């Protein structure tokens, strides 16, 4: 099957056209136009991307299989964990969010749940201590801020 | 000689106690990164960049540490080739051919020690080559005008896939995507481009975030997909019995391999995998029937190791003198230079002489450190290799999060990093190479600036881009870089595969 490259090629051509059109909409820079304005280089890029994507559509490589079903679900879980980790880093604090994020990732990758969350917790505490005391950089404490010294 | 004076100054920088300490730390971390499954050198250096920032290191110290990481990663890559027959990265492929049979015969420790010595020789030769060649090339590069630079950047992109690259058109697609991302933000005439009014995009996309996301996060996703969390079989290493005679025996091989590797590293488009391949095949031809290649000949371990370490030091030549990296890892090192506000290129040799020569001296010192670290400590590295990825990769991901977060203390950057990770996963599935994207991000602004200067000087006449002999030469090579893979690529790839399959333990 050779759908991957074709679909990607079509998407990239759409991107190239949108990007190129965007370049023509730039306001003229202060002081009048020059030989190379802000739009020249982007327009060149749009042409290059368009042509090379066209090549992909015409002569695509064989596909790699996409992970459907269970593996796909695992991937989505991992992505959700990463996004939640970013989201909760400040409100929950570094240690708790790391415990949850690293623990969940270890667990989903095949570790036993207890071991996984212990790993997460230890890693979180160690990195927090290293950053706070050895490197003098404060990571957010969040819910644990009552522990704050000084 | 002028160079010697600079080099002595460089040693002054590199031997300062705290620089030496960070070089040691870097060498250790680098070997670890090289040895661990799932952490290539480019990946490892990328994750450590934010760390260098958060530590508040001075530019030369940061650069010295990460150069040591780079050198160390090349050393570490061989450990899993020899013990597990699994090459850590492509250049280490040839080391499997004789390294694994040696390990099977119960000579794993000898194979590791020999490869450490050969790596050392390869790097040493190439570093000497770097010292001799770099100033000359830098002087030459001073004659480059904007048009020549523009052509040079094209050459860099065209040859990035390498002669053995699979589909050069995908390199072009990747480079265009990278350059496009680089145009986001306010350009130098003050016009906002593709910011969509989002404040965080005004200063453009931070390439450190992109690099860490593309490499580290996508690696995590790949491990999840392959369900490779369990790790690999346990390994045992015997006690080392190595005599001086063994070391003497591999010396000529190492020297030849180092020289060949250096040449392959300097030339655009060749790179470390070709370096180790050429030095292995040459060695096989030179020694012919006198060796037992493919069945655990020590020289078969020494040749590719000397070759790939020679090539990795050689790859620093174009990066330092022209500001044009030839490989993924040197591209990441370039990212560090740019974020330290150092303009890479020929002027660096005069304006930031302390950094350049400090780094070169650090490379020499780092080699000695690595040799000293590697022979006695190999047991520790082997132990760490057996940490299963299911614990390792989440922790690496966490370190990446901390690093990125500590640059700006905003969550926005983290979302961005995850998005880049997802994009990296999809692109790798489609076999779109990631390195041209990184290079595009890094070189985009410079490339546009040079295009602008060239056309301003010529008053809008585009032919200025191929007006000088030098520029035409660069364009021709760039063209060859895209066309040759179609002609030579399949041939070379087939030969490398044949070598790999017949050289295996069960083959002839």
| Per-residue pLDDT tens digits for B49-104 | 877 777 777 888 888 888 888 888 878 777 877 887 777 666 777 888 888 888 88
Contact between B189 and A72 under an 8 Å Cβ cutoff? The reply is: no
Determine the average pLDDT of the residues in B341-353.
81
Whether residue A111 and residue B391 make contact (CB cut-off 8 A), yes or no, is yes
* Angstroms from B227 CA to nearest CA on chain A: 7
Per DSSP, the three-state class of B185 is strand
Contact between A148 and A141 under an 8 Å Cβ cutoff? The reply is: yes
Q: Is residue B274 part of a domain?
A: yes
What residues contact B325, with CB distance under 8 A and at least 6 apart?
Answer: B156, B315, B318, B319, B331, B333, B334, B439, B442
CB pairs under 8 A between A and B: 170
| CA-closest candidate to residue B49, choices B62, B35, B68 | B62
What are B398-424's pLDDT values in tens digits? 888 888 888 778 888 899 899 999 999
Instruction: Specify the higher pLDDT residue, B167 or B149.
Output: B149
What residues contact A100, with CB distance under 8 A and at least 6 apart?
Answer: A84, A85, A88, A92, A120
Cα–Cα distances (Å) from B487 to A145, B263, B386, B426, in that order, read 63, 22, 42, 28
All residues of chain B having their beta carbon less than 8 Å from the beta carbon of residue A66 are: 429
Instruction: Specify the higher pLDDT residue, B2 or B103.
Output: B103
What are B483-507's pLDDT values in tens digits? 877 777 677 777 777 666 554 433 3
DSSP-derived secondary structure letter, B58: -
Q: Which of B201, B398, B440 to mutate to test the interface with A (most CBs of A within 10 A)?
A: B398
Using CB atoms, pick whichever of B172, B217, B391 lies closest to residue A48: B172
Maximal C-alpha separation, chain B: 71
Q: Quick one: closest CA in A to B229, which residue?
A: A109
pLDDT for residue B235 is more than 70: no
Whether residue A5 and residue B183 make contact (CB cut-off 8 A), yes or no, is no
Using CB atoms, pick whichever of A4, A37, A102 lies closest to residue B398: A102
Q: Is residue B507 part of a domain?
A: no
- Kindly indicate the confidence band of residue B233, based on its pLDDT and cuts at 50, 70 and 90: low
Alpha helices in B315-388 (DSSP H): 316-322, 328-339, 348-351, 353-385
Q: Domain range spanning residue B379? A: 2-140+148-502
Instruction: Specify the higher pLDDT residue, B505 or B38.
Output: B38
- Tally the domains of chain B: 1
Whether residue A86 and residue B418 make contact (CB cut-off 8 A), yes or no, is yes
pLDDT for residue B294 is more than 70: yes
Residue with tokens 């480059």: B144
Q: What is the rounded distance in angstroms from the CA atom of residue A135 to the CA atom of residue A129?
A: 9
Determine the average pLDDT of the residues in B369-376.
81
Residue A106 CB-half CA count within 13 A = 27
Instruction: Specify the higher pLDDT residue, A46 or B187.
Output: A46
pLDDT for residue B219 is more than 80: yes
The mean-pLDDT minimum among A121-135, B128-142, B275-289 falls in B275-289
Q: What is the rounded distance in angstroms from the CA atom of residue B498 to the CA atom of residue B492?
A: 10
Contact between B345 and B148 under an 8 Å Cβ cutoff? The reply is: no
Whether residue A49 and residue B431 make contact (CB cut-off 8 A), yes or no, is no
Q: What is the rounded distance in angstroms from the CA atom of residue A15 to the CA atom of residue A52?
A: 12
User: Residue B185 forms beta bridges with which residues?
Assistant: B193
Q: Which of B21, B176, B417 to mutate to test the interface with A (most CBs of A within 10 A)?
A: B176
pLDDT at residue A150, as a whole number: 47
pLDDT at residue B405, as a whole number: 85
Whether residue A137 and residue B406 make contact (CB cut-off 8 A), yes or no, is yes
pLDDT at residue A84, as a whole number: 93
pLDDT at residue A79, as a whole number: 92
Q: Is residue B508 part of a domain?
A: no
Q: Which of A11, A33, A45 to mutate to test the interface with B (most CBs of B within 10 A)?
A: A45
Determine the average pLDDT of the residues in B435-461.
85
All residues of chain A having their beta carbon less than 8 Å from the beta carbon of residue B225 are: 67, 71, 74-75
Whether residue B398 and residue A127 make contact (CB cut-off 8 A), yes or no, is yes
Residue B261 CB-half CA count within 13 A = 39
Residue with tokens 């005004």: B202
Question: What is the ipTM metric for this complex?
Answer: 0.88
Q: How far is CA A36 from the centre of its chain?
A: 33
pLDDT at residue B504, as a whole number: 40
Using CB atoms, pick whichever of A19, A41, A131 lies closest to residue B402: A131
pLDDT for residue A16 is more than 60: yes
Cα–Cα distances (Å) from B423 to B147, B186, B188, in that order, read 33, 24, 28
> Element (H or E) spanning B193, and its range?
strand B192-193
Q: How many CB atoms lie within 10 A of CB B5?
A: 10
Whether residue B173 and residue A109 make contact (CB cut-off 8 A), yes or no, is no
Q: Is residue B14 part of a domain?
A: yes
pLDDT at residue B508, as a whole number: 31
SS (H, E, C) B434-477: CHHHHHHHHHHHHHHHHHHHHHHHCCCCHHHHHCCHHHHHHHHH
Q: Which of B218, B387, B391, B396 to mutate to test the interface with A (most CBs of A within 10 A)?
A: B391
pLDDT at residue B104, as a whole number: 81
pLDDT at residue B506, as a whole number: 33
What is the average pLDDT score of chain B? 81
* Angstroms from A146 CA to nearest CA on chain B: 21
The mean-pLDDT minimum among A1-5, B106-110, B206-210 falls in A1-5
Cα–Cα distances (Å) from B198 to A19, A26, A90, B202, B411, in that order, read 17, 16, 22, 7, 15
| CA-closest candidate to residue B337, choices B346, B326, B348, B327 | B348
What is the average pLDDT score of chain A? 83
pLDDT at residue B167, as a whole number: 78
pLDDT at residue A82, as a whole number: 93
Q: Is residue B228 part of a domain?
A: yes
Using CB atoms, pick whichever of A64, A109, A127 lies closest to residue B429: A64
Q: Quick one: closest CA in A to B175, which residue?
A: A49
Q: What is the rounded distance in angstroms from the CA atom of residue A31 to the CA atom of residue A62?
A: 51
Q: Quick one: closest CA in A to B413, which residue?
A: A86
Of A77-81, B230-234, B504-508, which one has max mean pLDDT?
Answer: A77-81
The mean-pLDDT minimum among B185-189, B228-232, B284-288 falls in B228-232
All residues of chain B having their beta carbon less than 8 Å from the beta carbon of residue A34 are: 189, 452, 456
- Kindly indicate the confidence band of residue A34, based on its pLDDT and cuts at 50, 70 and 90: low
């Amino acid at each position: 099957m050779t759908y991957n490259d074709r679909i990607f090629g079509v998407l990239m051509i759409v991107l190239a056209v949108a990007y190129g059109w965007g370049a023509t909409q730039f306001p003229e820079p202060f002081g009048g136009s020059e030989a190379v304005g802000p739009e020249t280089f982007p327009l060149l890029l749009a042409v290059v991307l368009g042509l090379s994507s066209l090549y992909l559509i015409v002569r695509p490589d064989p596909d790699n299989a996409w992970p459907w079903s269970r593996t796909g679900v695992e991937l989505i879980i991992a992505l959700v964990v990463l996004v939640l980790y970013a989201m909760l880093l400040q409100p929950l604090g570094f240690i708790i969010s790391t415990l949850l994020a690293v623990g969940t990732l270890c667990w989903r990758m095949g570790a036993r749940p207890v071991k996984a969350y212990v790993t997460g917790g230890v890693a979180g505490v160690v990195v927090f201590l290293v950053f706070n005391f050895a490197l003098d950089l404060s990571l957010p404490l969040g819910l644990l801020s009552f522990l704050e010294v000084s | 000689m002028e160079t010697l004076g600079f080099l002595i100054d460089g040693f002054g920088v590199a031997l300062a106690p705290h620089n030496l300490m960070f070089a040691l730390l870097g060498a250790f971390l680098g070997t670890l990164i090289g040895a661990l499954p799932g952490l290539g050198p480019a990946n490892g250096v990328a994750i450590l960049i934010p760390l260098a920032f958060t530590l508040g290191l001075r530019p030369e110290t940061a650069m010295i540490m990460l150069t040591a990481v780079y050198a160390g990663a090349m050393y570490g890559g061989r450990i899993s080739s020899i013990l597990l027959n699994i090459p850590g990265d492509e250049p280490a492929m040839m080391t499997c051919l004789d390294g694994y049979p040696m390990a099977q015969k119960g000579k794993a420790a000898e194979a590791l020690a020999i490869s450490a010595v050969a790596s050392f020789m390869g790097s040493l030769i190439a570093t000497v080559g770097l010292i001799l060649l770099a100033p000359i090339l830098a002087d030459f590069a001073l004659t480059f005008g904007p048009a020549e630079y523009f052509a040079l950047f094209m050459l860099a992109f065209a040859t990035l896939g390498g002669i053995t690259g699979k589909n050069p058109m995908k390199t072009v697609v990747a480079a265009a995507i990278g350059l496009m991302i680089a145009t986001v933000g306010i350009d130098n005439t003050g016009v906002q481009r593709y910011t969509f009014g989002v404040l965080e995009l005004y200063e453009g996309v931070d390439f450190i975030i992109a690099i860490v996301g593309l490499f580290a996060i996508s690696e995590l996703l790949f491990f999840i997909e392959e369900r490779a969390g369990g790790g690999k079989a346990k390994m045992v290493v015997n006690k080392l019995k190595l005599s001086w005679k063994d070391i003497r025996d591999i010396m000529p091989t190492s020297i030849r391999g180092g020289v060949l590797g250096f040449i392959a590293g300097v030339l655009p488009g060749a790179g470390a995998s070709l370096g180790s391949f050429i030095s292995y095949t040459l060695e096989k031809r030179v020694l012919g029937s006198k060796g037992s290649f493919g069945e655990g000949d020590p020289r078969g371990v020494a040749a590719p190791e000397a070759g790939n370490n020679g090539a990795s030091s050689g790859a620093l030549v174009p990066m330092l003198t022209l500001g044009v990296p030839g490989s993924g890892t040197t591209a990441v090192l370039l990212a560090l230079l740019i974020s330290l506000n150092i303009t890479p290129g020929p002027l660096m040799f005069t304006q930031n002489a302390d950094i350049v020569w400090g780094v070169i001296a650090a490379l020499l010192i780092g080699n000695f450190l690595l040799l000293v670290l590697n022979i006695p400590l190999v047991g520790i590295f082997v132990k760490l290799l057996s940490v299963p990825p299911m614990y390792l990769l989440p922790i690496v991901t966490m370190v990446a999060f901390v690093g990125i977060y500590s640059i700006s203390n905003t969550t926005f950057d983290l979302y961005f990093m995850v998005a880049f990770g997802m994009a990296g996963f999809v692109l790798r599935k489609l076999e779109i190479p990631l390195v041209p994207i990184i290079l595009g991000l890094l070189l985009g602004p410079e490339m546009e600036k040079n295009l602008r200067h060239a056309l301003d000087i010529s008053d809008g006449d585009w032919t200025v881009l191929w007006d000088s002999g030098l520029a035409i030469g660069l364009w021709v090579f760039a063209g060859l870089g895209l066309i040759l893979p179609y002609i030579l690529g399949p041939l070379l790839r087939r030969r490398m595969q044949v070598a790999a399959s017949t050289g295996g333990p069960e083959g002839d």
